[in-house]
Amino acid sequence: MPAQLFEERIEGEEKIEPRDWMPEEYRRTLIRQISQHAHSEIVGMLPEGNWVTRAPSLKRKAILLAKIQDEAGHGLYLYAACETLGVSREDLLSELHSGKAKYSSIFNYPALSWADMGAIGWLVDGAAIMNQIPLCRTSYGPYARAMVRICKEESFHQRQGYEIMLTLSRGTEVQKQMAQDALNRWWWPSLMMFGPGDADSVHSLQNLRWKIKRFSNDELRQRFVDMTVPQAELLGLNIPDPLLRWNPDRNHYDFGPIDWDEFWNVVRGNGPCNRERLHDRVNAHEEGAWVRDAAIAHAIKQRNRQAPVAS
């Protein structure tokens, strides 16, 4: 009976809220997806965080700080959405820190030059936005609301990245090289961000049916390529794919095969920065433990000091 009602509500585009009945598998899927998304935001702060202290101008330093700060905020909104499903942030973080939980593999690639700040904003945030906009209509209320907020804030992220690329591509030869090199390194990992092809995606179908996801991985990936190729042309940069060409029959760009071995290898922990990223997160958390403990100890002492008066 509740199961049927649940399916009807999903069918009728009605949102599911935290205290509503939901199938256990729906809850588990949401926890997995939302927490992965939250972890990605938090780990995603690290490659860019590398360049805060080296940003080439005061304006860029401020923009970069504000952008990374947004990512912290987005992680926070998403952890909070996840907590409505009955798991604590502390539990979710333990899963991240133990290596059990996944996050977007893209952040296991290194940010080597200033142009990477441009490429990350343009491509990585661009791909993320493709994924995220449909999620504003996802069936779980708190997740959808978090995504609305995130998409609204995220709108400057991609633009600032593209603006960096634009400045570089109109600059000196060295700046152009920097931009091209960043595009070369970030292009394929960005395409991988949409996840395995529909034929190989384990979770896709059920997630679409429950309206947790709204479009398939391959649909979104194609949309991303179609949108990005003309943007690269405008920059005068070459997308590192010899098979990339416009297909008038499909009305889409065809593109070369994705190296899924590389993808799975990075997912399994063998990307260039997997260890560093996880180490940074674990370290920040462990070194912050005494601070968090102190704050709660002080709060308890305060309450006890006030208690006799209040009662």
Q: Does 31 bind other proteins (CB under 8 A)?
A: no
Minimum distance, C-beta of residue 298 to other proteins, in the bound complex (Å): 4
Site for other proteins in 52-111 (CB under 8 A): 52-62, 65-66, 68-70, 72-73, 75-77, 79-80, 83, 88-90
Minimum distance, C-beta of residue 262 to other proteins, in the bound complex (Å): 26
Site for other proteins in 227-266 (CB under 8 A): none
Minimum distance, C-beta of residue 100 to other proteins, in the bound complex (Å): 19
Q: Which is nearer to other proteins, 20 or 198 (by Cβ)?
A: 20
What whole-number distance in Å separates Cα of residue 153 and Cα of residue 157? Answer: 8
Q: Which of 31, 92, 144, 164 binds other proteins (CB under 8 A)?
A: 164
Q: Which of 21, 246, 260, 264 binds other proteins (CB under 8 A)?
A: 21
What whole-number distance in Å separates Cα of residue 232 and Cα of residue 228? Answer: 6
86 torsion bin: left (phi>0), alpha (psi -120 to 50), beta (else): left
DSSP labels, the chain:
-HHHHHHHHHHTTPPB-TTS---HHHHHHHHHHHHHHHHHHHHTHHHHHTTTTT-SSHHHHHHHHHHHHHHHHHHHHHHHHHHTTT--HHHHHHHHHTT-S---GGGGS---STHHHHHIIIIIHHHHHHHHHHHTT-SBHHHHHHHHHHHHHHHHHHHHHHHHHHHHHTS-HHHHHHHHHHHHHHHHHHHHTT-S-GGG-SSHHHHHHTTSS-S-HHHHHHHHHHHHHHHHHHHT---S-TT-EEETTTTEEE-PPP-HHHHHHIIIIISTTHHHHHHHHHHHHHHTHHHHHHHHHHHHHHHHHHHHHH-
| Binding pattern for the stretch 102-131 against other proteins, x by CB under 8 A and - elsewhere | ------------x-----------------
Minimum distance, C-beta of residue 249 to other proteins, in the bound complex (Å): 42
Place of tokens 């009807």: 8
Q: Does 17 bind other proteins (CB under 8 A)?
A: yes
Q: Does 155 bind other proteins (CB under 8 A)?
A: no
Q: Which range of residues in 179-187, 229-237, 261-269, 284-292 is near other proteins by CB under 8 A? A: 284-292
Q: Which range of residues in 17-25, 95-103, 218-226, 263-271 is near other proteins by CB under 8 A? A: 17-25
Q: Which of 9, 15, 32, 49 binds other proteins (CB under 8 A)?
A: 49
Minimum distance, C-beta of residue 292 to other proteins, in the bound complex (Å): 6
CA 269 to chain centre: 18
Minimum distance, C-beta of residue 126 to other proteins, in the bound complex (Å): 20
Q: Does 173 bind other proteins (CB under 8 A)?
A: no
The residues binding other proteins (CB under 8 A) are: 17, 19-21, 42, 45-46, 49, 52-62, 65-66, 68-70, 72-73, 75-77, 79-80, 83, 88-90, 114, 145-146, 149, 153, 164, 167-168, 170-172, 174-175, 280, 283-284, 287-299, 301-302
